[in-house]
Chains A and B, each alone.
Chain A
Amino acid sequence: MAGAEANEKNFEPVIIAFLCNWCTATAADLAGTMRMQYPVNIRPIRVMCSGTVDQVYVLKAFLSGADGVIIGGCKPGDCHYISGNYKARRRIHILKTIMETLGLEHDRIQVSWISAAEGKKFADIMTDFTDKIRGMGPSPVKVNGTAF
């Protein structure tokens, strides 16, 4: 029997996190050195800027069965490539608008601006997001037991 289905009660979400190298990924390292725990549910992927995260990668994660996707970027005004995070914001707005239009759960996608110094904020946000997704239950990418 498929793993995720077998123990829906003890559902542990899989969350893909695209983290900007210059801020959020550094905050993740900092959280580690400060011995702050963040959930093992988070599968971090380091990217050079939130602006490199095309919607296709978020969708690929989502459609492959990730229960949530979080994108961590530099605060508005602080992007190392000047406007990558502003562009990311528009892209994710497009993605969420489309998901909402098509009746897909856009709440499973989140963007958070977390600077390199915010180790605690990183751990808190990852914990909150994991709790939220856990509360939402497994992502419904399946129709009659078949993932589309």
Chain B
Amino acid sequence: MNIVLNTADGRTRALRNFLKNMLENKILYAVIAPVEINKKITGALVRSPELMDKADPLAPVMPVNMARIVSDITKSAPPSDGKKIGVLLRSCEARALIELVKLNQASLENIITIGIDCFGTYPIKIPETGAREACQMCEYPEAPNTDITIGLAGYENDSFIILQGNTADGDSLLESYGAGAAAAEQLKKREDAIESIRKERIAKRDDVFARYLGEITGLENLHNVFASCINCHNCRNACPVCYCRECLFDSPTFEWKADNYISLADKHGSIAVPRDRLLFHLTRLNHMAVSCVGCGACEEACPNGISVFSLFRLSGDRVQAAFNYIAGRSMDEPLPVTEFRENELESIGNQ
């Protein structure tokens, strides 16, 4: 089902009121949303209805991919019955959450996912530069697989937006709010708008991929990309889908004695340091590209502006295509590394 939300007093106000109503009527026990505190946007788990007046669901920034937060909050135990949490999610956050659930790193029990149409987010460090490249080339303006969709696209000049229920939970929540349903042409308007954003972004994506192929492929380019990597692993920490509780690269596995480094330098003439930077990134690619949702959080977190996103986005596309898999597309598609077919990839192993 769907309802029309009046936005005559502004979209932010309308969404705040809607979420506040959900808390007041105990339909939701708490809401995870971006809120503005002291003029700064942060994520918050909001329990008190009054504080919903500080929510800023439309702020075009993503300081942290919220899928990570849902994982942090639910992975030991999801909310108990009667304490449903609503979570506002952009597309990449919703898709990352699907991946985390499949990886057993998050639970959707008693979680109501509320997707919101995304027009892109700005870099935290230099917002003046406009929407991040990751966003400009993201072909999913609409958050998939959520209980509710907050439909904004296409209604820029209207005084309403549409809330769409996609699951039984979503429907019953909207029913409780009791507002009128949208007319068919109102729904169509959004579909068309989403489609045209999607087209634009796909064209952008293909341009950017062509550029990446020139900039990041080949050992020389990879060297140039990572020459100033300090091996801090911030990119991994910010990535919503990189999930291991203990990373091999935080262990002493690859720590050698000085003589071993010397003998490697002896073999090659010289070895770049810090060691194992390319190993770290290539390994992370091997483990995570299959679930990469292209959010760009990795690059946002990099202190040295290394284009680590381009590697993941490009490789992610290729690896996912190799298994006819798309990260976050569906809860029912098993992760490619957790299953196999007996008759596949026959070119591997039979040389």
Contacts and interface: CB of A to CB of B under 8 A. Distances in A.
A141 interface: yes
B339 to A, nearest CB: 8
Contact of B289 (A1, A5, A87, A98): A98
B58 interface: no
Interface stretch (B190-198, B213-221, B300-308): B213-221
B314 A101 contact: yes
B267 A98 contact: no
Contact of B267 (A65, A102, A110, A148): A65
Given A77-B342, A86-B340, A113-B349, A97 B318 contact: yes
A91 interface: yes
Nearest to B249: A56
A133 B136 CA distance: 42
B348 interface: yes
Given A56-B279, A59-B286, A87 B351 contact: no
A86 B348 CA distance: 10
B39 to A, nearest CB: 42
A104 to B, nearest CB: 7
A77 B343 CA distance: 10
Nearest to B254: A60
B287 to A, nearest CB: 8
B59 interface: no
A55 B322 contact: no
Interface residues on B, range: 35 or more
B223 A76 contact: no
B322 A93 contact: yes
Nearest to B271: A147
Given A59-B283, A145-B270, A148-B223, A91 B337 contact: yes
A76 B264 contact: no
A59 B268 contact: no
B259 interface: no
Contact of A55 (B267, B270, B286): B286
A42 interface: no
A87 B340 contact: yes
A99 B270 CA distance: 23
B220 A147 contact: no
A2 interface: yes
A119 interface: no
Interface string B334-350: 00110011101100111
A140 interface: yes
Given A102-B217, A102-B315, A113-B350, A89 B286 contact: no
B326 interface: no
B268 A60 contact: no
Most buried by A among B217, B319, B340, B348: B348
Given A3-B267, A98-B286, A148-B222, A111 B279 contact: no
B351 A110 contact: yes
Contacts of A98: 282, 285-286, 289, 315, 318-319
A146 B286 contact: no
B336 A5 contact: no
A103 interface: yes
A90 B348 CA distance: 9
Interface string A57-78: 0011001110000000100110
Interface in B293-329: 311, 314-315, 318-319, 322-323
Given A59-B283, A97-B318, A98-B319, 6 more contacts: A56-B279, A89-B344, A89-B349, A94-B337, A113-B349, A113-B350
Interface of B: 216-223, 226, 248, 254, 264, 266-272, 276-279, 282-283, 285-287, 289-290, 311, 314-315, 318-319, 322-323, 336-337, 340-342, 344-345, 348-351
11 contacts: A65-B267, A86-B342, A93-B345, A93-B348, A94-B336, A96-B348, A146-B268, A146-B271, A147-B268, A147-B272, A148-B278
Interface of A: 1-5, 55-56, 59-60, 63-65, 73, 76-77, 83, 85-87, 89-98, 100-104, 110-113, 125, 128-129, 140-143, 145-148
